[in-house]
Amino acid sequence: MSPGVPEPVAPRPAGPRPVATPRDVQVVQVEFKGLRRDYYAAREAVPLVEGEHVIVEADRGRDLGTVHRAAHADDLACEGGCEHAGERSVIPPSRRVLRRAAPVDVERLLELRTHEADVGTRTRELVHKHGLKMKVSEAEWQWDRNKLTVYFTADKRVDFRALVRDMAGEFRTRIELRQIGVRDEARRLGGIGRCRRELCCRAWLPEIQPVTLQLAKDQGLSLNPAQISGACGRLMSCLHYEHEAYLQARKRFPREGQRLGTSRGQETVVGWNLFKETVTLKDDHGERRTLPLEELKREARGRPGKPGRVEETDRR
């Protein structure tokens, strides 16, 4: 063949195109502003790793996020060891990672972020104009500017159709107003808790669980909302952390209000200290005393047949 003449390429055989195997597909969790996360399928020649910026499919366009986790689909598959499940593969997410983000893409996103504060200010002015009872939390541009999402909190449902029309004319894009709770608002905005550390819901807590006043009661904490509420005004999520330990430890203590027969006669349990292992008693004359739990048990054992013996019971 003459020099410079390209060698003919054999035609591609007819038939269906080869299907990517699970080893070729990554399941990627991508993080966006405000800890918003979603899963995507990636088919890159070089596997994606945590911390990389990627362009992904978004609602009627494209968005830019950061890889939070990445794993090959077959590494996530069940090989028959899962309970009530046989061998099965993982179905990749429907949305895809389109490509790695270039530095200019990241710069474009950072420029959009600088304008979001102005968007929030203008939106609050329009909310005041329409007399709506809602609190605008923050705004978020999609990377391609095809959508603007505004997050807000409100005690009741809000009819914001007129507001959306004004915002669409103001910002010349598709508008989405998304109502969130005060816990989600604290998670998105972040802050410092009364422990002087970053809010758990922002720093590491994967899921916000319901918190009830019973958790504080079980731990003998003050029921003053000002002392057990977080930055969002709701009960602190950290009430969950030691709750199980308290339930197990409390089985060894008599319950408050219980009448016990001791060396001084009949006394009533008015309190206990889990860490000091002490119990506070009050007699019929109103006099109080505090003694170690083990000493109280010895006194109770020394009065056989008397009601109110200290026993380890499950009061869950």
pLDDT per residue over 196-238, tens digit each? Answer: 999 998 888 878 888 999 999 888 888 898 899 998 999 999 9
- Structural domain spans, the chain: 23-101, 108-180, 201-245, 259-301
User: What angle (nearest 5°) sits at the alpha carbon of residue 292, between those of residues 246 and 305?
Assistant: 95
User: What angle (nearest 5°) sits at the alpha carbon of residue 67, between those of residues 53 and 153?
Assistant: 95
Does position 282 have pLDDT exceeding 80, yes or no? yes
Alpha-carbon gap, residue 211 to 230, rounded angstroms: 11
Does position 1 have pLDDT exceeding 80, yes or no? no
273 — pLDDT class (breaks 50, 70, 90): confident
Lowest-confidence range among 15-29, 113-127, 169-183, 270-284?
A: 15-29
3-state secondary structure (DSSP) of residue 269:
strand
User: Taking a C-beta distance cutoff of 8 angstroms, is the pair 141, 108 a contact?
Assistant: no
- HSE-CB for 72 with a 13 A CA cutoff: 11
The average pLDDT across 6-18 equals 45
Q: State the maximum Cα–Cα separation within the chain, in Å, rounded to a whole number.
A: 117
Q: What is the pLDDT of residue 65?
A: 97
CB atoms within 10 A of CB 9: 6
What percent of the chain lies above the pLDDT cut of 90? Answer: 54
The helices-and-strands tally (H runs, E runs) of the chain is 8, 14
Average pLDDT, the chain: 85
Q: What is the pLDDT of residue 301?
A: 74
What is the CATH code for 108-180? Answer: 3.30.300
Does position 162 have pLDDT exceeding 70, yes or no? yes
CB atoms within 10 A of CB 188: 18
Give bridge partners of residue 87 from the DSSP assignment: 79
The average pLDDT across 31-44 equals 93
Q: What is the pLDDT of residue 108?
A: 96
